[in-house]
Structure 1
Amino acid sequence: MGFLSNLFKKEKEVYSPVDYNRVFDNTVIDGIPVERLDIGLLNVPTGQIIVCDPLVFSDAQPFTKTVAPGKYPVTIYIAKTPDAGDRYAVACLEIKPGRAEKWVLALTKGQDTSQLKNEGDYFGFPVDAGLGGFLDSQTAAVYDKFLDDFQKNNPNSNIYDDFFAAEFKKNAADQDDPNDIGDWVNFTFPGTDLNITMFHSGYGDGMYPAYWGTTNDEEIVSLVIDFMVLFGEW
């Protein structure tokens, strides 16, 4: 009975202390202007979503919750901070229209919420190249091959400097400003309809959580990444 009870034990849900509806509903939060940026759709053919730093993603795993396959809009909420300029604060993958009533920590296989002892503790994904992103688990395999092929064909090259930098530059606000290198990419892999979104991660490297926005009936409305810009380290 002990084995069976553990096998079917429901994982304790961990909730964000932040209601991200504040971000979606307001243009100013605690005196900081917030600007919305739509960066297009993400193709999610399997319903299994990965959140990661897309330049150091090799061991990233999909979340245990899944969504219906489809194409979903990605929106960035930019905090126009007084001291550090524009910072990407929250990224949202909108699964369906509606209002989330709770924000549940997104988990990957093997993450045990009983290990989170203190209020505000979370499992997150590591950022080591200053970027975050959404992609489907099927896309992850295509991306992995894309990276391998690029390295084989360009052994002395760097995937960001020698490929993605030009893709980011396409989305620079001022194409004529050499210092405006662009802050985001929605890149479709050649010969496929699979894409990956990449965007700057708040103040840079760190460990960042993702939360499912759900109704009280457990219906998934959205998936958000919090880059700890607007609400800090709780």
Structure 2
Amino acid sequence: MRNRMMRAARLVLCAAAAHAPVSASAAGWDVSKASSNFELVTLGDAELSGRSIGVIHMGNVELTSGRIVAADPLAQPDRPALARTVAPGDYPVTLYQAFGRIAAAGMRFAEGKPDHWELAVLPGQDLATLKDDDADINYYDDVLAADLDANKGHYALHRPMAGKRGNVAVFWSGWGDGFYPVFWGLDKDGRPLALLTDFGVIENADGRREPKVQ
């Protein structure tokens, strides 16, 4: 979804406190059609490069509580954490670039190829009732901008409280402001292996041809 370009970076993965089996679908959500880019998390850097997809290994997000928020904190400062949690720990974040944009973002919790994917939801959300269009000081200028400047304004690992564990991965979201689906990649036992946010910049995990605007 290409809405108005956003001025501030999108904070997508937060430490302490943002959408499978592909065969599973809800009344309004067919997860197999929600994203064609799940393969991104299974490909190595060389394979991705061959598909004209750049890779940025941002470093680790320190999940002190095991809860994850996927949101723009400047627009949604009270956004709740995702319903599913993981074990507290340090987990690597990878950004996938194409056409000069951040096409997708992933976080890895364990090695392996996901057996199936699940739409990430907030507490109280019911997959059966979700529709396709559901997915709410100036901190940016005064704080985040300095961190982002080190990487041409595209991304940063930001630590809200200096000297304390718990940081956030901040990065631009695709073509700008909008609603983007987040997915859990699960093993056959339902254990989280990866989290993927798809910004709708590419299709079929391939950056050689830009998708048509819907």
Deviations 1:79-106 (A, max 9, x none): 1x2xxxx110110010111111212100
For structure 1, which runs of at least 5 residues remain unmatched after alignment?
A: 1-10, 127-150, 152-157, 173-181
| Distance verdict in 2 for CA 1:228–1:19, change over 3 Å | closer
2:62 aligned residue (27, 31, 43): 43
Map residues 55-74 of structure 1 onto 2, 5 A cutoff. Answer: 55-74=74-93
1:221 aligned residue (190, 193, 205): 193
Q: Name the CA distance, whole Å, in 1 between partners of 2:162 and 2:41.
A: 35
Deviations 1:99-127 (A, max 9, x none): 1121210010121112236xxx2642x6x
The residue number in structure 2 matching 1:185 is 156
The residue number in structure 2 matching 1:21 is 39
The residue number in structure 2 matching 1:140 is none
Instruction: Give the residue type in structure 2 aligned to 1:218.
Output: G
| 1:55 shift after superposition | 1.9
Map residues 80-99 of structure 1 onto 2, 5 A cutoff. Answer: 81=99, 86-99=100-113
Total equivalences in the alignment: 174
* C-alpha contact (below 8 Å) 1:105/1:122 kept by paired residues: no
Q: TM-score, normalised by structure 2?
A: 0.73
Q: Name the CA distance, whole Å, in 1 between partners of 2:49 and 2:55.
A: 11
Residue identity (%) = 33
> Aligned to 1:185, what secondary structure does the other structure show?
strand
Q: Indicate the structure with greater helix content.
A: 1
Higher relative contact order (CA 8 A, sep 6+): 2
Instruction: Give the residue type in structure 2 aligned to 1:223.
Output: L
> Aligned to 1:27, what secondary structure does the other structure show?
helix
Q: Name the CA distance, whole Å, in 2 between partners of 1:165 and 1:209.
A: 26
Q: Structure 1 residue 209 and structure 2 residue 167: aligned?
A: no
Q: Name the CA distance, whole Å, in 2 between partners of 1:89 and 1:186.
A: 18
Q: TM-score, normalised by structure 1?
A: 0.67
> Aligned to 1:163, what secondary structure does the other structure show?
helix
The residue number in structure 2 matching 1:100 is 114
* C-alpha contact (below 8 Å) 2:67/2:81 kept by paired residues: yes
Q: Name the CA distance, whole Å, in 1 between partners of 2:145 and 2:32.
A: 34
Map residues 133-172 of structure 1 onto 2, 5 A cutoff. Answer: 151=137, 158-172=138-152
For structure 2, which runs of at least 5 residues remain unmatched after alignment?
A: 1-23, 204-210
Q: CA RMSD in A?
A: 2.4
* C-alpha contact (below 8 Å) 1:122/1:209 kept by paired residues: no
Q: Which runs of 4+ in 1 moved over 6 A?
A: none
Instruction: Give the residue type in structure 2 aligned to 1:59.
Output: D
* C-alpha contact (below 8 Å) 2:37/2:202 kept by paired residues: no
Deviations 1:45-87 (A, max 9, x none): 11111111132231211111111110000000001x2xxxx11
| Distance verdict in 2 for CA 1:108–1:36, change over 3 Å | same
Q: Name the CA distance, whole Å, in 2 between partners of 1:185 and 1:202.
A: 16
Q: Indicate the structure with greater strand content.
A: 1
